[in-house]
Structure 1
């Protein structure tokens, strides 16, 4: 028999876990949550610094590769995405960044009423359980946000002071009233464990009789009656199954999987769908388009003072760190390596921060990317300093390779397609060099390992960026929100244009990428989306 629920959510990732919790809170509605991956109950997922071990683990990671990228010299870009309960929030670096208020005011200015900064701030706060009382944060929400400033490696202070010497403001809260400046990042942990939305929202809700989670359940198609979504077809342990939704189907597969499932179901550019053998239901040319992502480069510096390399490279250091973590869930294994950074303007002509900085008290110059394990840093004292443009203007796209749901879609990032993005890259490259030459950081640096002091000048710096830069794992906007069905995929209430009973709620709906890490704004979108669904359900009774 076909199972029936009020709502079906496709994807138990960052957004899906929030939705599953909120839609079942009052016990009025039944929810089926489908997840293509398996359980998140692994020590390498739950221990914060263990995410390095999940980076190339095909059991919990889709492990996508993009098409060759012209701007990167024809290189492919490796895109890890979570294929596990918790989604990419179970394998990410846990950095909690909302973005700049202007990001959301821009969403509103693009015609998305109700999505300005003042509109979305309450939903950020609703999800939060912040370490200390602040008018800008929430306390008592499901997801803990940890202020790591008391625990960060001491060398981070040298970076912050060098940036201040250059005139950048210090910020004691990069998600507070003044999010511009440099300081310590906040992270999603609780008691030394990862505080993913799976841990914070989903697992506490699983005791509810109205919620059913199915893992290893790969959605293959949305079921329609006319132009109304009525269910989902999926595979599970070799069986072909279907489930019906009495109210709505909600896609929360992220910026790759959500547009892929729409296209597999006949919603997309009609000519593309016909080319791969799919009969179109809605000619929606924006599906899979407007892809945005952050792209970054790291500079590596050898220093004369200890870094995390000195703690975590020696075997005895690993043992000590492990014992400390087992004893009280503290020490370097309880943190992310992205410990400090910030949001700055590269020059006085910028009206808003255009660069995000990362300072990590660790380095991996001697290990190829495909072989890196987070507990094996370099055998000498060093750190890395990185940047990415906050708001790239280049747009890529995702398309189907064929009509087979098991085949990966083709990802075209289209990095550095605009002069504005190239200008930001060059400004960021120059800024990294400038920070490293500034006291007190300059006093402890003995050598610029990569790219090297000889790499200087715009031409050489841009060539180095093209040769080494890569994704920061923040794909967004492939099911873009907007008022015009010809140029967007969902409306301001996240309903798919042209059909009924179908929404997309995840990072794919961002009209533009936010300034910074995208996990926190995805949680916000899910909180606001859940509230909209419940409002609409109440009005229909």
Structure 2
């Protein structure tokens, strides 16, 4: 075990703190939900030393983070990487914002808090693609360990006809989950649900049990009966922040892996991480931290950037920037996939709904394509499924076609109603989300400067 005498480990260190000079057992680049939860689990062993490098600030105490209803206030601020795509040719050359959490907790600190597991068929497809042990039956019990579900009260159940399945939830995990009943309008159980049923959409008792089809209540990562966010910082890190073998360094942006050659086999071994900090003057300084094990947890947009700056990736991309190829791995930065959302907003007639000042949806509806497409559109979709998109692998295309034809949900429909100061709804927002798009994009670097953003091309309609 390494000695850390004189260091107050476990606290949050901004860049102004003393540079780490020890060799850590683990360095995790990225303090988002994955990075923090992994750091907490690894540091359960007091003989392991763990450090987390987070590019953003701690965000602790920021009401735009702690209050779920204020989450969009973080977009375009220092808590957001403020990435944008290249012009998207298939959607009129529009540039799309790619919101990414640049703050301790990552996306879990600034997202809308919706808590929804994947469909059973999606997990099972992962194992069929080669990820042994990732099928639904293996993962279900494990993922519930992170959840602390707070059931609705009997009054809420009776008032709003709320449904949930206790077998689909965990009750002792670090992340609080609840059905958000605060300010829920009677509009949903009295009007929305009957209307959906009349259209053939049966209510889903609880979508977290692996079956998504149909409208269901919206589960949120929040404390019971409040809008207080439960996320990676509050749930995982703060309860154990005084561990002497765990160090979190904020405002420390991981830039690339440091390599050393093996004298026995001639192989390159990762021995540390370069990271960038900023002084009060704004001048960046590059530092190095040594580690026996390095874990990159910088999201689908930042991790490829770090790998390519480190010489891991497609030789064509690397050589064009004069970067020596350490590992020839063409898949880095490929197969980029995100879930596009189309939003429509419109005015409601006076007195249509009393929303109780609610600004978020209480119910979501997830359906196969057939729930939204006309007969002609379905015919056209069948034709499109005969041709594989260029960047989609044959195995992925095969499984996705099978899921579409089997009626596995592909579209999510959510709506919000917004009320004015007099509790009268004036606006309605509808969102249609493509859950599993066939298009695939790329994310690569076009500069050796670690502070330059990556080039993001999701090919949203490609």
Count the aligned residue pairs.
381
Indicate whether 1:402 and 2:421 are aligned. no
Residue 280 (structure 1) aligned with residue 325 (structure 2): yes
* Contact 1:24–1:210 (CA under 8 A) maintained in structure 2: yes
Distance 1:71 1:115, change over 3 A: same
Q: Does 1:389 align with 2:424?
A: no
TM-score by length of 1: 0.67
**CA displacement, residues 476-530 of structure 1 (integer Å, 9 cap, x when unaligned):** xxxxxxxxxxxxxxxxxxxxxxxxxxxxxxxxxxxxxxxxxxxxxxxxxxxxxxx
CA RMSD of aligned residues (A): 2.3
Query: Which structure has more helix as a fraction of its residues?
Result: 1
Alignment CA distance shift 1:30-1:285 (3 Å): same
Match of 1:160 in 2: 193
Aligned 1:240-255 pairs, distance under 5 A = 240-246=286-292, 248-255=293-300
Checking the alignment, whether the CA contact within 8 Å between 1:9 and 1:32 is kept in structure 2 is yes
Asked if 1:362 is matched to 2:389, the reply is no
1:55 aligns with 75
Is 1:176 aligned to 2:176, yes or no? no
Q: Does 1:305 align with 2:351?
A: yes
Report deviation, 1:268. Answer: 0.5
Q: Distance in 1 between matches of 2:260 and 2:345?
A: 56
2:425 and 2:150 mapped to 1: Cα distance? 34
> In the alignment, which residue of structure 1 is the partner of 2:12?
none
Distance 1:258 1:376, change over 3 A: farther
DSSP-derived class of the 1:235 partner: strand
Between the aligned partners of 1:148 and 1:245, the Cα distance in structure 2 is 43
Structure 1 gaps of 5+ residues are 313-331, 364-374, 418-541
Provide the secondary structure at the position in 1 that maps to 2:166: coil
User: Matched residue of 1:68: which SS?
Assistant: coil
Structure 2 CA distance for aligned equivalents of residues 76 and 340 of structure 1:
30
Question: Structure 1 residue 291: deviation in Å?
Answer: 0.4
Question: 2:252 corresponds to which residue?
Answer: 217
- Residue by residue over 1:423-467, the C-alpha shift from the partner in whole angstroms, topping out at 9 and shown as x without a partner, is xxxxxxxxxxxxxxxxxxxxxxxxxxxxxxxxxxxxxxxxxxxxx
1:306 Cα deviation from its structure 2 partner: 5.3
- TM superposition shift of 1:380: 5.8
Which residue number corresponds to residue 463 of structure 1?
none
Q: Secondary structure at the match of 2:70?
A: helix
Distance (whole Å) between structure 2 residues aligned to residue 73 and residue 174 of structure 1: 36
Q: What residue in structure 1 maps to residue 269 of structure 2? A: 228
Q: 1:75-133: per-residue Cα shift (whole Å, max 9, x none)?
A: 00011111100111111100011111111111111111111111211221010001237
Q: Distance in 1 between the 2:352 and 2:223 partners?
A: 27
TM-score with structure 2 setting the length:
0.78
Q: How far apart are residue 343 of structure 1 and its match?
A: 1.3
**Displacement, 1:151?**
4.8
Structure label with greater radius of gyration? 2
- Residue from 305, 318, 321 that aligns with 1:260: 305
The CA deviation at 1:307 is 5.0
Structure 1 runs of 4+ aligned residues shifted over 4 Å read 375-380
Deviates more, 1:154-163 or 1:404-413: 154-163
CA contact (8 A) 1:27 1:210 kept: yes
Which structure exhibits the higher relative contact order, with contacts defined as CA atoms closer than 8 Å and separated by 6 or more residues?
Answer: 1
Q: What runs of 5+ residues in structure 2 fail to find an aligned partner?
A: 1-19, 152-164, 262-267, 279-283, 372-404
2: CA distance, partners of 1:409 / 1:152: 41
Alpha carbons 1:342, 1:358 under 8 Å: kept: yes
Kept after mapping to 2: 8 A contact 1:8/1:32: yes
Query: Are the counterparts in 1 of residues 119 and 211 from structure 2 also a CA contact under 8 Å?
Result: no
How far did residue 267 of structure 1 move? Answer: 0.4
Contact 2:120-2:211 within 8 A present in 1 as well: no
Match of 1:125 in 2: 144
Of the structure 1 ranges 210-219 and 345-354, higher mean CA displacement relative to structure 2 is found in 345-354
- SS, match of residue 370 in structure 2: coil
